[in-house]
Structure 1
Amino acid sequence: MDAAELRELLTPEALALLDTLAPSDSTADVVALVAGLRKQGHPPARVAAVLTQYRLRRKAEEKFGPFARRMLFTAEGLEQASRLRVAAQHAGRFAAAGLQRVADLGCGIGGDALALASLDLTVTAVERDEVTAAIAAYNLAPFPTARVVHGDALAQSLDDVGAVWLDPARRTGAVRLNSPDDWSPSLTDALAIAGRRPAGIKLAPGMDRGLLPEGLEAQWISVDGEVVELVLWSGALARPGVGRAALVLRGDAPPAELRSATDSADVDAGPLGEYLYEPDGAVIRARLIGDLARSIGGRMLDPTIAYVTSDTAMQTPFARGFRIVERLPIDIARLKRALAARGIGTLEIKKRGVDIDPARLRPKLALRGDAAGVLVLTRIAGERAALLAERL
């Protein structure tokens, strides 16, 4: 979004028009909507600005739920914003630590600042991009304890705040995130701030673990099976004795978390049991698979594969469980016969540790029938194997 589009969007006429549009995911409805708006005499620039926000609001509902209906967005800001449920977890940590005045450095469209302000914390949200700062100011307008500053995060005085939230942006061209300078502000600068004030630093979950500093809590967070971020916590925001944590948020279930002082020790590999468990991605990223395996009386399926096997059926928020129906070789003909014998026409294919493309394998299996199943392609004690399974 450029400044001209922002000026058009922030007019009373455009905002009123945006709020009158009925939600729809239909392409035909959108085409009719554009035609209708132009027929009503709205200028093309207004129609374009309103339609962009209409689409972004629909997309934003995944992250912000009903709050999206009164917010404004930029495409990049929405992509980088924390999900509101995740932001609420962060805000709760600041409140629980008694940190009432927070600086949100690099606030983007204001998602995290919104969660902080909703707990009546005093928030100074700083954003260097002028258009994005204006969007954040609009989103935070209902909260009297929040203000937005257009400026450089590193130049912001921290004298009147007790804690800091940082969401460094990925620099253009940075892909692997294996250098402290791949972010802006750089990880080096963010850690320097975290040394002066209690802080939370939001980073990409795939960050090179070699960059993790000593003495900070590293918390990986997953939402409905997707690992969405890594947060480094310092000072009063870091929990005593916790160096690694995996926070799992699924549906309407209460948050669940595995915690450890360090990466957990692995458990030994052993024979295939009746049940297979696939650890949540946050557990894998935090390297807490060993603790998970011990909690369910399990063993590794293979020393190099993130699957746990057990002789006991258990429900855990930290893994998805499967009952093993049959072990088979990875052989197309054998797999086709086994699937046909059970009438499996709907098949979920998972793979770890084998060089097989599930999309290419699927049509070769000639699936037919009303039953559903799961096919796990992996290694067991170094040997390639296919496990026909069903979800617990």
Structure 2
Amino acid sequence: MNDLDPPSRHPTTAPHRRAAPDTPLSSFAALLTDQGRALLEEVRDTEPAQELAVATRLRREHPVGLVSAALGQARLRQRAVAKFGAADAGRMYFTPNGVEQSTRASVAAYRARRFQELGVRSVADLCCGIGGDAIALARAGIRVLAVDRDPLTAAVARANADALGLGKLIEVREADVTEVATDAYDAVFVDPARRGGRGRVFDPEAYSPPLSWAVRTALEAPLAALKIAPGIPHETVPAEAGAEWISDSGDVKEAVLWFGTGDAGSVRATLLPGPRTLVGRGLPDPQVRPLGRYLYEPDGAVVRAHLVAEVAEELDGGGLIDETIAYITADSLKATPYATAYEITDQLPFGVKKLKALLRERGVGVLTVKKRGSAVEPEELRRKVKPQGPNSATVFLTRVKGAPTMLLGHPAPA
């Protein structure tokens, strides 16, 4: 029973034929009717605090299940704005897992452009989910077979293709991806499920389907891309694949294994928006050097791709502050799209009292806390130092040549 559903009341004076219970698939199908679409439009801007009152009012005129489904879908659309933008999210349909696991639209669009640049005109999108990647591919002019074995998910993907006017380019098929022939398509894209009943799955062989199956499928295709978790160990990347780590606005979103592109064994980090792509050159780790005036924080995709050395080489005299920490230091400021630069004003051994006194002396009331190689939680430190004053600063909790250290500074001029 939905939290908003009142207890059922059955008449006691006459025989009552119980209505067939709503299923997730039948509830979703009801949203696609004229009545369902009208109800969705009516509740689209409902705030969480208003849901109970709105539900009570609407149930006087509409079936209880339809009202619950419409309000639930409105919540999902509101959550999906961050990934898909207001225009698309307001027309699309979602499941809770679909919102959580779908590819961000900017990342899907970038990958679709790369497929397009590689000459791909048709893609078999296996484990398509609610269709986020299929939509991006179709918008790039690529014909898509979108496959998912879950009936509700497949129905949502089909509805999304129609809602965005892409139904002629996207064929949605409800099937087990391991039983689908893909030889009629230029490329294969596989996005295995990385969540199970107990949450996120970290073992690639526990993906659904397993990564080993996805790799075999990729090797049989003319060209393929496999979406995987960004934390995948480099040693597990197949020798036949090129690996790419992608971030969006500084947040690492995914890794992709590319097959058949002619760059097997390559490593790259792509930063969105842009895109800006840094390609690995097999450089050795940078040397550890004394702290300079500037500290560079490489983008998360650069760190995941193990390309910190490539960034350090771009800087004048760039080196690491510690052999185990992905912070680069240099004496001069040089622009790079692959790292954020900070000017360091103070270096002191870790100690809450020392930091609190320094912040009071500098009149720092807005404190940004960053950490690498420290067990201290930023919020815990912020509570202890109680920053007050008109100024702002950034403190790095880290190690310098093995010693726990605090670095105080501020973002360098662009």
TM interval, short-chain normalised: over 0.9
SS of equivalent residue, structure 1 residue 302: coil
- What residue in structure 1 maps to residue 269 of structure 2? 246
- What residue in structure 1 maps to residue 41 of structure 2? 19
Report the Cα offset of residue 261 of structure 1: 5.1
Does structure 2 conserve the Cα–Cα contact (< 8 Å) formed by 1:305 and 1:353? yes
Describe the shift of the 1:67–1:239 C-alpha distance in structure 2 as closer, same or farther (beyond 3 A).
farther
Deviations 1:165-222 (A, max 9, x none): 10011252575623x4211121111111111111010011112333211121100111
Q: Identify which of 77, 93, 103 aligns with 2:98.
A: 77
- What residue in structure 2 maps to residue 88 of structure 1? 109
Report the Cα offset of residue 27 of structure 1: 3.1
CA distance in 2, matches of 1:188, 1:241: 17
Q: Identify which of 174, 182, 206 aligns with 1:158.
A: 182
Report the Cα offset of residue 74 of structure 1: 0.4
- What residue in structure 1 maps to residue 235 of structure 2? 210
Query: RMSD over aligned Cα, in angstroms?
Result: 1.8
CA distance in 1, matches of 2:80, 2:54: 20
Does structure 1 conserve the Cα–Cα contact (< 8 Å) formed by 2:195 and 2:201? no
CA distance in 1, matches of 2:278, 2:161: 33
CA distance in 1, matches of 2:195, 2:372: 31
- Residue 379 of structure 1 pairs with residue 402 of structure 2: no
Does structure 1 conserve the Cα–Cα contact (< 8 Å) formed by 2:239 and 2:264? no
Deviations 1:296-342 (A, max 9, x none): 22110111111000111233221111110111221222211110111
Report the Cα offset of residue 16 of structure 1: 2.1
- What residue in structure 2 maps to residue 107 of structure 1? 128
Report the Cα offset of residue 30 of structure 1: 3.6
Report the Cα offset of residue 31 of structure 1: 4.0
**Matched ranges for 1:1-392 at <5 A:** 2-23=24-45, 26-39=47-60, 41-65=61-85, 66-141=87-162, 142-143=165-166, 144-170=168-194, 172=196, 173=198, 175=200, 177-178=202-203, 180-197=204-221, 198-235=223-260, 238=261, 240=263, 243-250=266-273, 254-260=274-280, 262=282, 264-297=283-316, 298-392=318-412
Report the Cα offset of residue 242 of structure 1: 6.4
Report the Cα offset of residue 10 of structure 1: 2.5
Amino acid at match of 2:215: L
**Same amino acid, percent of matched pairs:** 40
CA distance in 1, matches of 2:135, 2:83: 13
Does structure 2 conserve the Cα–Cα contact (< 8 Å) formed by 1:375 and 1:386? yes
Does structure 2 conserve the Cα–Cα contact (< 8 Å) formed by 1:242 and 1:259? no
- Larger Rg, first or second structure (1 or 2): 2
CA distance in 2, matches of 1:15, 1:315: 50
CA distance in 1, matches of 2:30, 2:201: 38
Of stretches 223-232 and 313-322 in structure 1, the one that deviates more from structure 2 is 313-322
Amino acid at match of 2:250: G
CA distance in 2, matches of 1:62, 1:22: 16
Unmatched runs of 5 consecutive residues or more in structure 2: 1-22
Question: What is the aligned residue count?
Answer: 383
Does structure 1 conserve the Cα–Cα contact (< 8 Å) formed by 2:241 and 2:264? no
Does structure 1 conserve the Cα–Cα contact (< 8 Å) formed by 2:43 and 2:71? no
CA distance in 2, matches of 1:148, 1:32: 37
Of stretches 160-169 and 205-214 in structure 1, the one that deviates more from structure 2 is 205-214
CA distance in 1, matches of 2:57, 2:387: 46
Of stretches 324-333 and 273-282 in structure 1, the one that deviates more from structure 2 is 324-333
Describe the shift of the 1:261–1:188 C-alpha distance in structure 2 as closer, same or farther (beyond 3 A).
farther
CA distance in 2, matches of 1:386, 1:176: 35
Amino acid at match of 2:292: G
Of stretches 139-148 and 14-23 in structure 1, the one that deviates more from structure 2 is 14-23
SS of equivalent residue, structure 1 residue 306: coil
CA distance in 2, matches of 1:176, 1:267: 33
Unmatched runs of 5 consecutive residues or more in structure 1: none
Amino acid at match of 1:287: H
Amino acid at match of 1:93: R
CA distance in 1, matches of 2:58, 2:172: 33
Report the Cα offset of residue 23 of structure 1: 2.8
Q: Give the structure-1-normalised TM-score.
A: 0.93
Deviations 1:1-26 (A, max 9, x none): 822322332222112221243535x4
Does structure 2 conserve the Cα–Cα contact (< 8 Å) formed by 1:345 and 1:367? yes
CA distance in 2, matches of 1:55, 1:175: 23
SS of equivalent residue, structure 1 residue 70: coil
Does structure 1 conserve the Cα–Cα contact (< 8 Å) formed by 2:201 and 2:207? no
CA distance in 2, matches of 1:365, 1:309: 26
